[in-house]
Amino acid sequence: MPTWEIVPGHIATPLGFRAAAVRAGIKKAAGALDLALICSDAPETAAAGVFTSNLVAAAPVLVSRRNLAKSRGRLRAVVVNAGNANACTGRAGVRVAEQTTRVAARLLGIKPEQVAVASTGVIGVPLPAALIFRQLPRLAAGLSREDAAAVAEAIMTTDTFAKSCVMRTLAGRRAVHLAGVAKGAGMIHPRMATMLAFLATDVAVDPRWLRQMLQHAVDASFNCVTVDGDTSTNDSVLLLASGCSGVRLHRAGSRWFLRGLTELCQTLARMIARDGEGARKLVTVEVRGAKTVRDADRVARAIANSPLVKTAIAGSDPNWGRILCAAGYSGAMFDPARVEIRVNDLCLCRRGVDAGFDEEEAKRRLDQREVTIQVALRQGAAAARMWTCDLTPDYITINASYRT
Amino acid sequence: MPTWEIVPGHIATPLGFRAAAVRAGIKKAAGALDLALICSDAPETAAAGVFTSNLVAAAPVLVSRRNLAKSRGRLRAVVVNAGNANACTGRAGVRVAEQTTRVAARLLGIKPEQVAVASTGVIGVPLPAALIFRQLPRLAAGLSREDAAAVAEAIMTTDTFAKSCVMRTLAGRRAVHLAGVAKGAGMIHPRMATMLAFLATDVAVDPRWLRQMLQHAVDASFNCVTVDGDTSTNDSVLLLASGCSGVRLHRAGSRWFLRGLTELCQTLARMIARDGEGARKLVTVEVRGAKTVRDADRVARAIANSPLVKTAIAGSDPNWGRILCAAGYSGAMFDPARVEIRVNDLCLCRRGVDAGFDEEEAKRRLDQREVTIQVALRQGAAAARMWTCDLTPDYITINASYRT
């Protein structure tokens, strides 16, 4: 089975892709990139997407979902802007998103339904469409395989670093690539996709299989991240497969590809958790010994979403009682008297009570930049994992006046 | 129908009650009261309780629940301590709680199963039982109708003010009283009781009816409060009815009493929301026009629990998109294009899009100490209400090192 390695590169490293980013003036910060275009030059490109489960879906989500269906999984390009979410903008917002697909399609010589759109930023403010339309020609003209690294930067909002990952493997004697960019920071909560991520690969694959594999990878990665429990109106994960590597996936033989895709998504998901608004620590919650996967997932989610657990981690306070308390209200069934809780391998709670740990040692382990909370329920064999971050005063400073 | 008025007083204002508070040394702060006793001198006292739904219930919850059943709703006394929750303390914790009921019962000349216990404070640390046993005789000797005001203070943890309310009405020519004390601050989330509250009245009533009325009042008050979405291990609401007013409730004729009891609980619940950890504003979320009460409740809870909504209110930012977004992921069914959102009577969002409001005026309204978010879904006739508070950096400062 081929193994995947992380290599330098960007979203256009897989064969057949080009990308570009410009400043359209949607973000307020001077000079900040805020508009990007990713496209595949291969006519047979397959595409798949996973979108927010929020009933209040933003205009770009509505339009991209429709275009994926209309083109039968044959998207060729994605236009993304940051600084404005084009959400809660009514029919006018949908018209702007549609017009964006038409303008981009004309410039690229493809059909409008082959273009997806994605937006992130403030909700409820009309998208300054003129700014986008003015820049699209320049963006299309600037498409390249060299300057594509700027895309990861252009899609950022309150992110503190650009999130990008490229992987490579050999299938027989042919190289296959997987690449992705993502943005996260706030309004991050599982259930379907939870943020923006754009993925590219050069395998050839039927769109239906691509859809299945993407959903599988998203469930094991982006859907396991939470920053604040808020599921956004704009969450979108899009994957384009150009086929230019010459390697074709057959349903049965695609396990190695699924593994790579899942690793790519998990790498990006962890970056999102680590860069949660105001976060200083990446927190992994591992639950095992649950009766059912559903129970394991409930316990992991309750702990990862508990503001009291996350503030305790911010303060390096080994307050395991809050962890057990969150498990208790998660809705999962278990016997509290059997629970064991470890933090970075130090046992804080055994059989539901204090394990008699060294306070200073616990503080030292919680002071690390990566904190793993391990909860063993001892009821069965089911496990689940979530990624989150600590909750610091900066989360509030960032969000108290986001619009202004 | 008799009307209720708020009057000066304390938990022992209803006839038949006495109470006292002392410093046992469980709280670290010098001189802080941390142990209280409330008791009724009437042998026929009826009692009812509502407790946390958390699977990880603290020892005092287990013991009080059992004693309520064992005495068939005939509790006579409550022992409360602050500074230590006696939660996640295993069998040793249960033994300490049981012994507390035995010591108190002997001192008061009643049966152990007529005593309830309640604790609040740090989780997972053994309750310093000796400190409590040493003070119980002094506490019993100090029981009075005059100094009972100190009880509200003794049950505080991170609360910034004591929460107490007394109401009075005339039933015929006889005065009837309702009194309550409560503590809240952090780890506050609906579903069953959500904090500690001790209520006293001097009506005579069958314990079964009292239980029904208490559940009804709690559902309409304490269960509508959220500070951080964390349901504690120790939540308890206890109501004792001495019967000393000479007024006896008959099932059919108790509507006036239920109204008073609900008002009392709502007054205490609003105090808890207003005093959420780090809070500067009391936030009321009112949802109407939902298809079902369940949908209305889901939308109200999602908005009241959204950290993004609550930080925006802290910053007086009229970010109505976050309110609509939270409604969208609540699980309730509605058409986003019909939603109207008002904040302190200023319309921010009409038919799902920006209503074109005056930004300065919105900021002024959000700057008030009480903020009401009104959401009209226009799908049906069901309504729900939640109370919460804004989310400020102080919440995190308070919780980052709670144990130390």
Span A78-113, pLDDT tens digits: 999 998 989 888 899 999 999 999 999 999 999 999
Q: Using CA coordinates, name the residue in chain B closest to A126.
A: B354
Q: Using CA coordinates, name the residue in chain B closest to A89.
A: B353
Write down the catalytic residue from A89, A101, A194, A201.
A194
Mean pLDDT of B109-133: 93
Selection from A102-106, A226-230, A297-301 with the highest mean pLDDT: A102-106
Whether residue B231 lies within 8 A of chain A, CB to CB, comes out as: yes
Please tell me the predicted confidence (pLDDT) of residue A165: 93
The pLDDT > 90 percentage for chain B reads: 60
Out of A227-231, B108-112, B237-241, pick the least confident. Answer: A227-231
Radius of gyration of chain B (CA): 22
pLDDT at residue B171 above 60? yes
Q: How many domains does chain A have?
A: 2
SS (H, E, C) chain B: CCCCEECCCCCCCCCCEEEEEECCCCCCCCCCCCEEEEEECCCCCEEEEEEECCCCCCHHHHHHHHHHHHCCCCCCEEEEEEEECCCCCHHHHHHHHHHHHHHHHHHHCCCHHHEEEEEEEECCCCCCHHHHHHHHHHHHHCCECCCCCHHHHHCCCCCCCCEEEEEEEEECCEEEEEEEEEECCCCCCCCECCCEEEEEECCECCHHHHHHHHHHHHHCCHHHECCCCCCCCCCEEEEEECCCCCCECCHHHCHHHHHHHHHHHHHHHHHHHHCCCCCCCEEEEEEEEECCHHHHHHHHHHHHHCHHHHHHHHCCCCCHHHHHHHHHHCCCCCCHHHCEEEECCEEEEECCEECCCCHHHHHHHHCCCEEEEEEECCCCCEEEEEEEECCCHHHHHHHCCCCC
Please tell me the predicted confidence (pLDDT) of residue A401: 64
Instruction: Find which of A399, A401, A402 to mutate to test the B interface (most B CBs within 10 Å of its CB).
Output: A399
Better-predicted residue by pLDDT, A12 or A277:
A12
In sequence order, which residues have a C-beta less than 8 Å from that of residue B402 and are 6 or more positions away?
A312, A315, A317, A319, B122, B158, B186
Please tell me the predicted confidence (pLDDT) of residue A168: 94
User: Which chain B residues in 58-87 lie under 8 Å from chain A, judged by CB atoms?
Assistant: 85, 87
Residues B170 and B84 reside in one and the same domain: yes
Mean pLDDT of B216-235: 78
Residue A221 sits in a domain of what CATH number?
A: 3.60.70.12
pLDDT at residue A219 above 90? no
Phi, psi of A87 (to 5 degrees): -120, 150
Please tell me the predicted confidence (pLDDT) of residue B1: 65
Residues A206 and A96 reside in one and the same domain: yes
Residues B267 and B329 reside in one and the same domain: no
Whether residue B391 lies within 8 A of chain A, CB to CB, comes out as: yes
Q: Do B229 and A229 touch (CB under 8 A)?
A: yes
Of B230, B326, B351, nearest to A307 by CB-CB distance is B230
The string of pLDDT tens digits covering residues B270-292 is 898 888 778 889 999 999 999 99
Task: Please give, rounded to a whole number of angstroms, the shortest distance from the CA of A30 to a CA of chain B.
Answer: 23
Residue B239 domain-assigned (yes or no)? yes
Residue B132 domain-assigned (yes or no)? yes
Of B89, B229, B393, nearest to A397 by CB-CB distance is B393
Out of A195-209, B142-156, B177-191, pick the least confident. Answer: B177-191
State the average pLDDT for chain A. Answer: 89
Question: Residue B250: pLDDT band by 50, 70, 90 thresholds?
Answer: confident
Please tell me the predicted confidence (pLDDT) of residue A360: 94
Mean pLDDT of B300-329: 90
pLDDT at residue B124 above 90? no
| Catalytic residue list contains B392 | no
Please tell me the predicted confidence (pLDDT) of residue B187: 56
Residue B404 domain-assigned (yes or no)? no
Residues A240 and A191 reside in one and the same domain: yes
Residue A315: list chain B partners with CB under 8 A.
399-402
Better-predicted residue by pLDDT, A307 or A150:
A150
pTM score, whole prediction: 0.79
Strand order in the sheet with B282-290: B353-354, B346-350, B340-343, B370-376, B282-290, B382-389
- Interatomic CA distance for residues A26 and A23, integer angstroms: 8
Of A187, A311, A320, nearest to B400 by CB-CB distance is A311
User: Which chain B residues in 82-121 lie under 8 Å from chain A, judged by CB atoms?
Assistant: 85, 87-90, 92-93
Whether residue B133 lies within 8 A of chain A, CB to CB, comes out as: no
Please tell me the predicted confidence (pLDDT) of residue B169: 94
pLDDT at residue A225 above 80? no
Please tell me the predicted confidence (pLDDT) of residue A277: 78
Whether residue A215 lies within 8 A of chain B, CB to CB, comes out as: no
Q: Do B230 and A329 touch (CB under 8 A)?
A: yes
Whether residue B346 lies within 8 A of chain A, CB to CB, comes out as: no
Nearest residue to B79 via CA among B57, B107, B48 = B107
Mean pLDDT of B48-57: 85
Q: In the beta sheet, which residues pair with residue B285?
A: B373, B386
Of A187, A314, A401, nearest to B308 by CB-CB distance is A187
Please tell me the predicted confidence (pLDDT) of residue B22: 96
Q: Do A88 and B397 touch (CB under 8 A)?
A: no
Task: Please give, rounded to a whole number of angstroms, the shortest distance from the CA of B396 to a CA of chain A.
Answer: 6
Residue B326: list chain A partners with CB under 8 A.
230
Of B311, B327, B396, nearest to A400 by CB-CB distance is B311
State the burial class of residue B256 (Cβ atoms within 10 Å of its Cβ: 0-12, 13-18, 19+): middle
pLDDT at residue B220 above 50? yes
Residues A259 and A306 reside in one and the same domain: no
Residue A399: list chain B partners with CB under 8 A.
307-308, 311-312, 315
- Write out the residue range of the structural domain in which residue A311 sits: 282-400
Mean pLDDT of A246-266: 86
Residues A235 and A184 reside in one and the same domain: yes
User: Which chain A residues in 272-331 lie under 8 Å from chain B, judged by CB atoms?
Assistant: 305-308, 311-312, 314-315, 317-322, 324-329
Please tell me the predicted confidence (pLDDT) of residue A331: 86
- What angle, 0 to 180 degrees and rounded to 10, lies between the N-to-C axes of helices A255-274 and A207-219? 40
User: Which chain B residues in 180-199 lie under 8 Å from chain A, judged by CB atoms?
Assistant: 186-187, 189, 191
Q: Do B400 and A312 touch (CB under 8 A)?
A: yes
Residues A39 and A98 reside in one and the same domain: yes
pLDDT at residue A404 above 70? no
Contact (Cβ atoms closer than 8 angstroms) between residue A46 and residue A73 = yes
Residues A51 and A138 reside in one and the same domain: yes
Please tell me the predicted confidence (pLDDT) of residue A140: 96
Of A123, A229, A311, nearest to B399 by CB-CB distance is A311
Write down the catalytic residue from B194, B201, B233, B262.
B194
Residues B131 and B246 reside in one and the same domain: yes
Residue B123: list chain A partners with CB under 8 A.
319, 321-322, 324-325
User: Which chain A residues in 232-261 lie under 8 Å from chain B, judged by CB atoms?
Assistant: 232-233
Task: Please give, rounded to a whole number of angstroms, the shortest distance from the CA of B379 to a CA of chain A.
Answer: 15
Residues A192 and A216 reside in one and the same domain: yes
Q: B274, B301, B324 — which closes off a domain?
A: B274
Q: Do A191 and B329 touch (CB under 8 A)?
A: yes
Nearest residue to B375 via CA among B346, B349, B341 = B341
Q: Do A325 and B87 touch (CB under 8 A)?
A: yes
Q: Determine how many CB atoms are found less than 10 A away from the CB of residue A72.
A: 12
In sequence order, which residues have a C-beta less than 8 Å from that of residue A141 and are 6 or more positions away?
none
Task: Please give, rounded to a whole number of angstroms, the shortest distance from the CA of B149 to a CA of chain A.
Answer: 31
Whether residue A231 lies within 8 A of chain B, CB to CB, comes out as: yes
Out of A140-154, A388-402, B113-127, pick the least confident. Answer: A388-402
Please tell me the predicted confidence (pLDDT) of residue A186: 60
Please tell me the predicted confidence (pLDDT) of residue B142: 95
Q: Do B404 and A317 touch (CB under 8 A)?
A: yes
Please tell me the predicted confidence (pLDDT) of residue B190: 36
Q: Do B325 and A87 touch (CB under 8 A)?
A: yes
Q: Using CA coordinates, name the residue in chain A closest to B186.
A: A308
Nearest residue to A169 via CA among A42, A268, A267, A255 = A255
Please tell me the predicted confidence (pLDDT) of residue B396: 75
Residues A65 and A111 reside in one and the same domain: yes
Whether residue A381 lies within 8 A of chain B, CB to CB, comes out as: no
Residue A391 sits in a domain of what CATH number?
A: 3.10.20.340
User: Which chain A residues in 26-65 lie under 8 Å from chain B, judged by CB atoms?
Assistant: 53-57
Q: Using CA coordinates, name the residue in chain A closest to B308.
A: A399
Residue B126 domain-assigned (yes or no)? yes
Q: A250, A274, A298 — which closes off a domain?
A: A274
Q: Do B229 and A322 touch (CB under 8 A)?
A: no
The string of pLDDT tens digits covering residues B334-367 is 998 999 999 999 999 999 999 999 999 999 999 9
Task: Please give, rounded to a whole number of angstroms, the shortest distance from the CA of A352 to a CA of chain B.
Answer: 6
Of A56, A85, A314, nearest to B336 by CB-CB distance is A56
- Interatomic CA distance for residues A310 and A306, integer angstroms: 6
Please tell me the predicted confidence (pLDDT) of residue B273: 85
Out of A365-379, B59-73, B224-238, B268-282, pick the least confident. Answer: B224-238
Residue B58: list chain A partners with CB under 8 A.
none
Residues A252 and A193 reside in one and the same domain: yes
Residue A351: list chain B partners with CB under 8 A.
90
Q: A274, A307, A338 — which closes off a domain?
A: A274
Q: Using CA coordinates, name the residue in chain A closest to B323.
A: A123
The pLDDT > 70 percentage for chain B reads: 94
State the average pLDDT for chain B. Answer: 89
Number of CB pairs < 8 Å for A and B? 225
